[in-house]
Amino acid sequence: MVLTAAAVCDEKKGIDTRILELDPLDSSFTDFFLITSGANTRQTEAIADEIEFRLKREYGAYASSVEGRRVGEWILLDYFDFVVHVFLEEKRAFYDIERLRKSAQKLDIDQLKAALTKKTLAARGKSATKKAPAKKSAAKKSIAAKKTAPKKTAAKKKSAVTKKSAPAKKAPKKTVAAKKSAPVKKAPMKTAAKKSPAKKLATRAKKRP
């Protein structure tokens, strides 16, 4: 994006276009300053508008803040990682922000490309180191899961074998003696009471007319 914005400055005939790589200790809010000048406000506005259009079309990037467009003497476009300053020549000489940023390193296009490649490689290295422990932990988890899996299957097999080997308990058979009912006790037959001879004669005498 910085290279594209610098190319726009050259296309629009920007005067003395410079790229400053800021010292992180000196400025923590952005990485680069892109500074250019125009002969009049119409030119400064045209440069700022074209930078916005190209970055939006090619990268889908929008400036977080835009200042000074109405006046056109100092237009500032803030893209977080870099800030574009489009000055009128006399205003640039008056504010002299290059002198204020003494610790910043001045870069041309080739130097900027080299600096950007270093930054991208460093960022990729940091992301790779962050992802590596996560992969190792995932591998450890999978190994632990594999180790524990056979134990579970062995336990299941043992439980299945014990279930199969254990004989089923059958209900005890009832004995024949329990099935046979107890003998029914019969009531004793009433025997006729034997009458004495005297009683027999008496009964006969009563029966006679």
Say how many Å lie between the first and final Cα of the chain, rounded.
Answer: 160
Helix, strand, coil % in the chain, rounded to nearest 5: 55, 15, 30
CA neighbours within 13 Å on the CB side: how many for 36?
Answer: 29
Q: What is the pLDDT of residue 113?
A: 80
- Residue 176 and residue 179: Cα distance in Å, rounded? 5
Give mean pLDDT, residues 167-190.
51
Q: What is the pLDDT of residues 4-23, one digit of tens each?
A: 999 999 999 999 999 998 88
Q: What's the predicted TM-score (pTM) here?
A: 0.56
Q: Give the residue with greater pLDDT, 120 vs 44.
A: 44
The answer to whether the beta carbons of residues 51 and 34 sit under 8 Å apart is no
Cα 74–chain centre separation: 45
Q: What is the pLDDT of residues 67-95, one digit of tens each?
A: 999 999 999 999 999 999 999 999 999 99
Q: Is the pLDDT of residue 179 over 50?
A: no
Q: What is the pLDDT of residue 107?
A: 82
Q: Lowest-confidence range among 56-60, 120-124, 186-190?
A: 186-190
Per-residue burial over 175-208, b = 16 or more CB atoms within 10 Å of its CB, e = otherwise: eeeeeeeeeeeeeeeeeeeeeeeeeeeeeeeeee
Q: Is the pLDDT of residue 49 over 80?
A: yes
* CATH placement of domain 2-107: 3.30.460.10
Secondary structure of residue 157 in the 3-state scheme: helix
Give mean pLDDT, residues 186-193.
51
Name the β-bridge partners of 84: 34, 77
Domain boundaries, the chain: 2-107, 109-144
Q: What is the pLDDT of residue 118?
A: 81
Q: Give the residue with greater pLDDT, 15 vs 192.
A: 15
Q: What is the DSSP letter of 69?
A: T
162 band by pLDDT with thresholds 50, 70 and 90 = very low
178 band by pLDDT with thresholds 50, 70 and 90 = very low
Q: Give the residue with greater pLDDT, 156 vs 18.
A: 18
